[in-house]
Amino acid sequence: MAAPTLSVNGRSYRLPAPGAAPVVVVCVDGCEPDYIAQAVASGRAPWLARTLAQGTALVADCVVPSFTNPNNLSIVTGVPPSVHGICGNFLYDTASGTEVMMNDPKWLRAPTLLAALAEAGRSCAVVTAKDKLRRLLGHGMSLSRSMCFSSEKADSCTVAEHGVDSVLALVGRPVPDVYSAELSEFVFAAGVALMKQRRPDVMYLSTTDYIQHKHAPGDPVANDFYAMMDRHLGELDAMGCVIALTADHGMNSKVRMDAKPDVIYLQDLLDGWLGAAAARVILPITDPYVVHHGALGSFATVYLPAGADIAGTAKRLAALRGIEGVWTREQAAAHFELPADRIGDLVVVSERSTVLGSAASRHDLSGLDAPLRSHGGISEQRVPLILNRAIAGLDTQRRWRNFDAFDLVLNHAG
Ligand SMILES: [Zn+2]
């Protein structure tokens, strides 16, 4: 008899058999592949070194905009933002004429695989560093045998809302500061504790990129972070878990030679070209936690006034130093697989070491205590996709996506 399968968003997944090895997908926020390479080179990531040699080691593409929410949702739905609808951390809601966070599940247009697995009677445990992702990741998931909580709010979990309580006692750690490496360490520690005590069938762990925004690959603090991660993943591996590690996006230095952020302030430019506030620049990196990047990333979308010369403005922007490309709404929707109704008339992507701002006066860079590192563009699209299982006959030459992670662990790594 064929193993039972589950169909979600047009993709088919094998349901984990009762008593099968637990499946763990880890999204390491901002994990540019070089972080892994440098940690392995330092000798401080023995589990990763062994896994790269004996398991599956791919470099995949994330979704552009290379931001946290779109990619986490792609990983748990298995499809691009054109299907699931989450195309930024932040958007301009044309219906209400307001700029809003995209944390609310009302923006989600597709069910998650996690909800489908819980519906099919499998126990799921979802742990995210920041609470902003929790409701999106846990949307539609029955909590009768499953749970979904964040490190940030680990002290206020209830069975009714999160499927679990007394998380601090379970993990044996205090609530970490929201701007700290410990916020991510708590995610891994919770994963290990839950695997020991509850052994869920499926686990999704999602960290935060606080360290990656401040520290380059190979920096001692970055290597400390990857050594910490390596220990925890080694523990999960020793408990028999099938593990896939991927990332929501990469990370690059975004500074000039004087170490100051290399910013193109799009709102100021467009105000000069079209008149004050005629165009509206939206930076979808914006979220409540902007201290470490000042809301500066390599992706912006622009709403132009009625009757504006869209093609002419695109051409003028594309000619600027530091711009990688400019796409019209229709071109961007097709090229980046984005929902056309949730992006502006233009999508602008900056180069590897350049970021896009709105108006200079709107960015508070006083919180930047290290040279700016950020993401959002095509230059941050490469991410690791690593499994602790070898897969015979896997086509390593095709274009893999970070949202193939669940397909690999459920359909190919068993
Ligand atoms: Zn991220």
Answer whether residue 365 shows pLDDT above 90: no
DSSP 8-state class, residue 15: P
Mean pLDDT of 168-191: 93
**Rounded to the nearest whole angstrom, what is the distance from the C-alpha of residue 224 to the centroid of ligand 1?**
19
Q: How far is the CA of 4 from the centre of ligand 1 (A)?
A: 34
Cα–ligand 1 centroid distance for 213 (angstroms): 9
What's the pLDDT band for 295 if we cut at 50, 70, 90?
confident
Give the residue, 231 or 367, on which the prediction is more confident. Answer: 231
In the structure encoding, which two tokens stand for residue 218, read together?
Answer: 């190979």
In this predicted structure, the answer to whether residue 1 has a pLDDT above a threshold of 60 is no
- The answer to whether 297 and 379 have CB atoms below 8 angstroms apart is no
Token reading at 328 = 């019209």
Of 294, 265, 269, 297, nearest to 284 (Cα)? 297
Residue 401 Cα, ligand 1 centroid: separation in angstroms? 16
Q: Residue 381 pLDDT more than 80? A: yes
- Please compute Rg for the chain using Cα positions: 21
403-413 average pLDDT score? 96
Residues with Cβ–ion distance below 5 A, ligand 1: 29, 68, 209, 248
Task: Name the percent of the chain lying above pLDDT 90.
Answer: 88
Q: How far is the CA of 8 from the centre of ligand 1 (A)?
A: 24
**CA dist 174 to 170, 227, 308, Å?**
11, 21, 54
Query: What separation in Å is there between the alpha carbon of 30 and the centre of ligand 1?
Result: 5
Q: What is the pLDDT of residues 231-246, one digit of tens each?
A: 999 999 999 999 999 9
Predicted pLDDT at 414: 66
Q: How far is the CA of 229 from the centre of ligand 1 (A)?
A: 16
Please give the distance, rounded to the nearest whole angstrom, from the Cα atom of residue 32 to the centre of ligand 1: 11
Tell how far the Cα of 249 is from the centroid of ligand 1, in angstroms.
Answer: 6
pLDDT for position 178 = 85
